[in-house]
Amino acid sequence: MKIKCIAIDDEPLALKQIGVYIEKTPFLECVALCSSAIEALKFAKEQEIDLMFVDINMPDLNGMDFVKSLEQKIPVIFTTAYSEYAIEGFQVNALDYLLKPISYASFLKSANKARSWFDMSKKPTDPPLTAQDYLFVKSEHRLIRILLSDIKYIEGSNEYIIIHLLKEKPVTTLMRMKHIETELPEQQFMRVHRSFIVNLSQVKVIERNRIIFDEKIYIPIGEQYKENFQKFLDRTFYI
């Protein structure tokens, strides 16, 4: 899909040049050439515009004030013969700034920057974390936030538990297994032994009543937890 562009400049030759550059660029589409900001203001209210090329130094309403006046903010690339406007241009979140006379190479560089910005803005963002996605534990006088999806398994050791993570070092905290068990979502975590809780999504291999995470980690399935764990297997594994 092409980026719909409008060019605004009170100089006819400069306006025509930007129009030619837009049409020359495969991913851009020129929807209007306006000789004043007033004309562009009317057009912007009636038509869908993705990107604007705006000259700053124009009579009646200059390009900077025009951009600031828009209710719906439209990405802009400023064009001007005066370099002193550059800093002010970036203060209104301009994508780029082109200094006249404008070569096609400079124009294309700015156009590609705009395309990259549009590509990034269309990428889906990660949903915000909720309280169900993580927990805080105290370890060595610090509070550490741990994503539940990063937990591989949890090991109980007397009054402490050791939270083994997928990529980070284990985190040790003063807490009983019974307490941490109530804090974890039961559809994601299961106690399989008096000393072990596993992240069910990380269970890949089971052999001889043991969960094998790798060649060094074998987690036994306790006798009193076998029935519950077998129900999980029946629901999810096809043998």
Query: Which pLDDT tens digit goes with each residue over 101-121?
Result: 999 999 999 999 999 988 887
C-alpha closest to that of 23 among 48, 49, 5: 5
Same domain, 43 and 102: yes
Tens-digit pLDDT profile for residues 184-193:
998 899 999 9
pLDDT at 85: 52
Contact 96, 86 (CB under 8 A): no
Same domain, 14 and 78: yes
* Percent of the chain residues topping a pLDDT of 70: 90
Same domain, 104 and 27: yes
Tens-digit pLDDT profile for residues 38-95:
899 888 888 889 999 999 888 878 888 888 888 788 899 998 887 655 444 445 567 8
Same domain, 105 and 136: no
Same domain, 186 and 95: no
Q: How many domains does the chain have?
A: 2
121-125, 162-166, 218-222: least confidently modelled range: 121-125
Contact 80, 100 (CB under 8 A): yes
Per the structure, the complete domain to which residue 75 belongs is given by: 3-122
pLDDT at 237: 60
pLDDT at 124: 64
- Cβ count near 121 (within 10 Å): 9
User: CATH number of the domain that 74 lies in?
Assistant: 3.40.50.2300
Query: Of 122, 155, 189, which residue is a domain's last?
Result: 122
**b/e string for 87-116 if b means 16 or more Cβ within 10 A?**
eebeeeebbbbbebebeeeebeebbeebee
Q: Is 173 left (phi over 0), alpha (psi -120 to 50) or beta?
A: beta
Same domain, 22 and 115: yes
* Residue corresponding to tokens 């001889």: 208
Which runs of consecutive H residues, i.e. helices, occur in the chain? Answer: 12-24, 37-46, 63-69, 86-91, 104-122, 177-183, 226-236
Query: Of 122, 155, 184, which residue is a domain's last?
Result: 122
Q: What mean pLDDT is predicted for residues 179-183?
A: 89
Same domain, 166 and 96: no
Same domain, 137 and 116: no
Same domain, 39 and 138: no
Enter the DSSP assignment of 84: G
Whole-model pTM?
0.53
User: CATH number of the domain that 138 lies in?
Assistant: 2.40.50.1020
Helices and strands per DSSP (H, E), number in the chain = 7, 15
pLDDT at 194: 94
Q: Does residue 239 have a pLDDT over 50?
A: no
Query: Of 91, 122, 153, which residue is a domain's last?
Result: 122
47-61, 120-134, 223-237: least confidently modelled range: 120-134
Same domain, 182 and 109: no
Enter the DSSP assignment of 46: H
Same domain, 9 and 96: yes
pLDDT at 58: 86
Q: What mean pLDDT is predicted for residues 146-150?
A: 92
Q: What mean pLDDT is predicted for residues 144-157?
A: 93
Same domain, 104 and 139: no
Q: With bands split at pLDDT 50, 70 and 90, how would you rate the model's confidence at 130?
A: low
- Cβ count near 85 (within 10 Å): 20
Six-digit token string for 205: 């291999």
- Cβ count near 155 (within 10 Å): 18
Q: Does residue 31 have a pLDDT over 90?
A: yes
